[in-house]
Amino acid sequence: MKPVREEIRAEESLNRVTAEAVYAKYCSPLFNAAAMDGIAVVSERTKGASEAEPMTLRPGEDFVVVDTGDPIRNPYDAVIMAEDLMEQEDGSVRITQAAASWQHVRPIGEDIVAGEMLIPSKHRIRPIDIGVLLAGGITRVEVFKLPTVAIFPTGTEIIEPGQEPEEGDIIESNSRMFEAMVRENGGVPHRFAPIADDYEKLKNSIAEAAKTYDMVIVNAGSSAGTEDFTVHILRELGEVYIHGVAIKPGKPVILAKVNGKPVIGLPGYPVSAYINFENFVIPVLRKMNGETGTAVPVVDAVISRRLVSSLKHREYVRVKVGRVDGKVVASPLARGAGAAMSLVRADGFCVIPQSSEGVEAGEPVKVELYRTMEEIDHTVVAIGSHDLILDVISDLMPDLYPGNYLSSTHVGSMGGLMALRRGEAHLAPTHLLDEETGVYNVSYLKRLFPSPWLW
């Protein structure tokens, strides 16, 4: 798991992580250079020039014409801008002001001094870094090798996307999500074709991959069902460190080592797979990548409704996040391990520690955020009934109001009105029929939002 280094061309190093600090080979500028278009002069010799007594300078003798970036050679030590010259017909120029020594000259090494540290180690290379590396004479840079990751989808019930599914078939999508997650975290994924539940075939495939790749991911087959023999294979091939963790969703994870390589078994439910990937695969990838530290920002929020959790596990509750009346509100979404759409809709996770039995509505929570607070501050929060028009409005927002968003959470009409009353939503779509009067909504609003001047 120690990061491996490789040397690559500086111009191809975008987003790679430096294995060591990089020091400049050359100065920049490499020589005293003109900072303006004009003429190079000897400042000493211009003394005395004034509006009243202009001085005439002769080409070759008193000055040379320079463009920005041209070298300023001995004995010249200053540049007079083209705008400040009066050109004469004979090629000479007149000046009305003396030049200060080193005016409009960029001295050698002004930007970069040879031997100076250009970028530190463990640094993700940005476009500007590529610029200074090359300007400082560095053409190759030592970075951490991108770890290669083999991904094995398994199971007899799975079919490839695009095939017409029959009852009992499950479209294989997790491995494609993993591929993308590996890429996002600086790895190179290789997704293999699905392997049916065949003990020998899976065993050989894993053994082979553990020779070639830096990490192996086996998807599904990590729970305790009849066909779930991944853990047995891994015990046979290497060492299994952990089988099952106290995280929900995400319990059935396998952490093993085969041929010195980490092999990670992930569960089949998409949300469990995603959360386990975040908790167990990404830290390893980042380590292999040479990157340390974590990046997910955490914000303080209040939870919009009661959440009960068990002491048996740490729970990851997907939430929508919005700012209403100055406070940051987290609204829980569906909690099932199969509810992939709740992940698509989420702005982050509210993590309930194993030691907690839950939180009451309005209580403070920590939220691991997947959007910027900037975006969240520009989001209209709708909580209530699921009106499809909200999806359409949300879709139109980027065109109509660039930089603004609509977030809608579906908890039913009454739940929405309650959230509105608690100051946790900007608007609440509602369609509650009063069966006595046959009129929608009004009687409910009168009751929940009593007002002497509205009703």
Interactions with its own copies, residue window 60-89 (CB under 8 A): 65, 67-71, 73
Q: Per CB under 8 A, which region of 52-60, 300-308, 331-339, 437-445 contacts its own copies?
A: 331-339
Residue 140 or 211 with smaller CB distance to its own copies:
140
Please report, for residues 76, 283, 336, 350, the alpha-carbon distance to residue 341 in angstroms, rounded to integers and kept in the order given: 70, 25, 10, 17
Asked whether position 224 contacts its own copies by CB under 8 A, the answer is: yes
Residue 387 or 434 with smaller CB distance to its own copies:
387
Residue 258 or 409 with smaller CB distance to its own copies:
409
Asked whether position 387 contacts its own copies by CB under 8 A, the answer is: no
Residue 230 or 445 with smaller CB distance to its own copies:
230
Of the residues 178, 213, 316, 349, which one makes contact with its own copies according to CB under 8 A: 178
Asked whether position 28 contacts its own copies by CB under 8 A, the answer is: yes
Of the residues 177, 207, 245, 361, which one makes contact with its own copies according to CB under 8 A: 177
Q: Which residues contact 29 (CB under 8 A, 6 or more apart)?
A: 69, 106, 107, 108, 109, 110, 111
Asked whether position 134 contacts its own copies by CB under 8 A, the answer is: yes
Of the residues 119, 288, 307, 381, which one makes contact with its own copies according to CB under 8 A: 119
Tell me the three state secondary structure of residue 454. coil
Q: Per CB under 8 A, which region of 21-29, 210-218, 243-251, 256-264 contacts its own copies?
A: 21-29
Of the residues 128, 437, 438, 454, which one makes contact with its own copies according to CB under 8 A: 128
Q: Are 63 and 99 in contact (CB under 8 A)?
A: no
Closest by CA to 181, choosing from 205, 151, 218, 212, is 151
Rounded CA separation 286/162 (Å): 33
Asked whether position 122 contacts its own copies by CB under 8 A, the answer is: yes
Interactions with its own copies, residue window 258-277 (CB under 8 A): 268, 270, 274
Of the residues 60, 91, 162, 452, which one makes contact with its own copies according to CB under 8 A: 162
Q: Which residues contact 47 (CB under 8 A, 6 or more apart)?
A: 98
User: What are the DSSP E strand ranges found in 10-107?
Assistant: 22-23, 33-34, 38-41, 55-57, 63-66, 78-81, 86-87, 93-95, 105-106
Closest by CA to 319, choosing from 369, 358, 373, is 369
How is residue 214 written in tokens?
A: 């830096």
Please report, for residues 285, 306, 341, 426, 455, the alpha-carbon distance to residue 270 in angstroms, rounded to integers and kept in the order given: 20, 25, 10, 31, 48
Residue 173 or 259 with smaller CB distance to its own copies:
173
